Structure 1
Amino acid sequence: MKAIVNAKVITMACGVVENGTIVMDKGKIVSLESGGVVPEGATVLDVEGRIVTPGFIDAHVHAGICEEGVPGAMNAVNEDTSAVTPHVRAIDGINPSDEGFRNAVEAGITCMQILPGSANIIGGTGVIVKPVGNIVDRMVIRAHSGMKAALGENPVNWQGGKGRFPSTRMGNAACMRKAIGDAFDYRAKKEQAEKKGEHFTLDQGMENFLPVLDGTVPMRIHCHRADDICTAIRICDEFGLRYTLEHCTEGHLIADYLAEKKVKAAVGPTATSKTKVEVRDKGWHTLLALKEAGVPFCLITDHPVIPIENLPVAAALAVRAGLDEQTALKALTVEAASHLELEDRLGSIESGKDADLVVWSGDPLDVRSRPVQVFVDGQPQLDW
């Protein structure tokens, strides 16, 4: 059992607790009280009035697949042999020794969703991990966190550029509809065979699609431009699928529509140059418009597009651009946890949740601040 004492706790659930005592045991938060009693025998860490926050969450990265310092690693994130590859799983391509994981912990990031890239219309399944350990299977929180999909320039350029279908935005949509339709047909045939007691040959890609059809996990759709965002919504509505919007760069142009549709958006990477046409209106104004419209969003780095250790810097830049600090912190914690459908475990400091905590040298949205201690499942990760 461990206890953090004398902390200014930004709970993200019930305001700020001064002189807080956080008790942790068996990887979970046991209690949080102002001036609380430390259980007998607990290891005590006096943080001397420093700020403690929940661990930050990056809901869209490619860490471990696009490895730091490996030439050509960007290509490793896409199984660029077909426009539709639902059988691909991000978990199978992760190198846990990638320094990106350590960089994340040292920046106060204790959870991330790793996704395949956006070269394919259907790219494969994502995985949610905590960035600690040398065996991927022990890092996993959720092995199938959603089916990655993509619209817009990337699949057009990657697939059409090789003389393959699709080569237009119309083709993107048609390809996505066919892939989803094929999955529904597969499910119907499988159910029919099971009822008749007949042999049925399993298809791994279609099996990966079944949790999407059942509503267990969402589609996670790469879409920057407003029309691509609307196409993503249109297609998922047609098939009755849950979904998240990944990037949502022009979300500010249709913020009221996104609010009406009750979407969840992962916005970023915003602090980069405008490398293609569909991101020419990229900027922090997207976050301001989504906040005004009541659209929930989290902030992402798309690591290594932005190095994952700069996630807190992105939040600080958003605040400089006019976003209020509370919303910026929510975008790194409770909203990111909700985006990953893990709000019952992560994103706030409450009894029963995972003991993923960060002790800061100063204000976490001051770029001069750094984590002086990080706990993942109650275990300290940095030298104090």
Structure 2
Amino acid sequence: CYQGKKIDTRMQISALLRETLEKTKEYLAKKEAGKDVAYDQKLEAMIPVVKRELPLKCHAHRADDILTAIRIAKEENIKITLDHVTDARCILPQIKESGFPCICGPALTHKSKFELANMSFETPNELYKAGILFSIITDSPVIPQQYLSLSAALAAKAGLPEHEAIKAITINPAKILGLDNRVGSIKVGKDADFVICTKNILDTQNEIQSVYVDGKKAA
């Protein structure tokens, strides 16, 4: 996505992120002061980030990139999610100390680039043992979303407790998105979006029997 923009190194990407965050803060300060400021769509999109209303999605596979994202988030006082975290097992204490959640995956794919050298279904269990909030993803359309439960099942096969594997595709992502008051589990007052299956959701022989949306049968 940086082709033709003369951004060739990780240091340049970090500098661009810092610059964007600082420009957003200046832009917001002028708006709040009632000054005449030209509308900037990109900076408008970043305002909820600098106001800590939304997390910045930081896509990072390598340990050094993950640590850079954490460092910038701390410096700029913003919330982030750490997406992919292929090398997370190398820096578990630093991720735990940061308090930022991890969105782990996809692992159901080829090691198609250098950054994926340490890709493993064992990573979710290491995050769990370290007490780090995490979810499992397919990164659809990289891996079709219908393979989400399979990805969780393979994480369970690699050591993640079965109950935690189910949480990693239900309540955990809801918590990370700040939507756990509505979805992610079955509880009075929530949206009542759920499926009824013939077997455990992690069983590859499982079939979805019916689908409910807002408590009403949809399929």
Per the TM superposition, whether the score is higher than 0.5 is: yes
Give the superposition deviation at 1:201.
2.7
Residue 17 (structure 2) aligned to one of 159, 176, 189 = 176
The equivalent residue for 1:354 is 191
Residue 186 (structure 1) aligned to one of 14, 23, 27 = 27
SS at match of 2:83: strand
2:113 matches 1:276: yes
The equivalent residue for 2:42 is 205
State the alpha-carbon separation in 2 of the partners of residues 228 and 381 from structure 1.
43
Give the superposition deviation at 1:379.
2.9
Code of the residue aligned with 1:341 in structure 2: it is G
Contact 1:165–1:171 (CA under 8 A) maintained in structure 2: no
Residue 216 (structure 1) aligned to one of 39, 49, 53 = 53
Contact 1:252–1:287 (CA under 8 A) maintained in structure 2: no
Give the number of the structure whose residues are more often helix, by fraction.
2
State the alpha-carbon separation in 1 of the partners of residues 50 and 79 from structure 2.
9
Contact 2:86–2:119 (CA under 8 A) maintained in structure 1: yes
Contact 1:186–1:206 (CA under 8 A) maintained in structure 2: yes
Q: TM-score, normalization: structure 2? A: 0.96
1:313-337: CA deviation from partner (whole Å, max 9, x where unpaired): 1111111111110110110111010
The equivalent residue for 2:153 is 316
1:118-150: CA deviation from partner (whole Å, max 9, x where unpaired): x3xxxxxxxxxxxxxxxxxxxxxxxxxxxxxxx
Q: TM-score, normalization: structure 1? A: 0.56
State the alpha-carbon separation in 1 of the partners of residues 171 and 46 from structure 2.
27
Code of the residue aligned with 2:6 in structure 1: it is F
State the alpha-carbon separation in 1 of the partners of residues 182 and 24 from structure 2.
31
1:347-374: CA deviation from partner (whole Å, max 9, x where unpaired): 1111000110110011111011021101
Contact 2:79–2:100 (CA under 8 A) maintained in structure 1: no
State the alpha-carbon separation in 2 of the partners of residues 184 and 166 from structure 1.
23
Give the superposition deviation at 1:264.
0.4
2:203 matches 1:370: no
2:133 matches 1:296: yes
Count of matched residue positions in the alignment of Structure 1 and Structure 2: 219
Contact 2:18–2:72 (CA under 8 A) maintained in structure 1: yes
State the alpha-carbon separation in 1 of the partners of residues 174 and 66 from structure 2.
22
Where relative contact order (Cα < 8 A, 6+ residues apart) is larger, the structure is 1
Contact 2:155–2:165 (CA under 8 A) maintained in structure 1: yes
State the alpha-carbon separation in 2 of the partners of residues 258 and 246 from structure 1.
12
Give the superposition deviation at 1:278.
0.5
Give the superposition deviation at 1:287.
1.1
State the alpha-carbon separation in 2 of the partners of residues 379 and 167 from structure 1.
51
2:165 matches 1:328: yes
Percent identity of paired positions between Structure 1 and Structure 2 = 39
Give the superposition deviation at 1:285.
1.9
Structure 1 residues 356 and 342: CA distance shift in structure 2, 3 A: same
Instruction: Return structure 1 stretches of 4+ with deviation > 6 angstroms.
Output: none
State the alpha-carbon separation in 1 of the partners of residues 77 and 138 from structure 2.
29
The equivalent residue for 2:84 is 247
1:162-218: CA deviation from partner (whole Å, max 9, x where unpaired): 3x23100111111111111111111122223x1xxx533322221111111111111
The equivalent residue for 1:114 is none
Residue 337 (structure 1) aligned to one of 160, 171, 174 = 174
SS at match of 1:332: coil
State the alpha-carbon separation in 2 of the partners of residues 271 and 224 from structure 1.
15
Give the number of the structure whose residues are more often strand, by fraction.
1
SS at match of 1:349: coil
Which stretches in structure 1 are left out of the alignment for 5+ residues? 1-118, 120-158
State the alpha-carbon separation in 2 of the partners of residues 315 and 285 from structure 1.
11
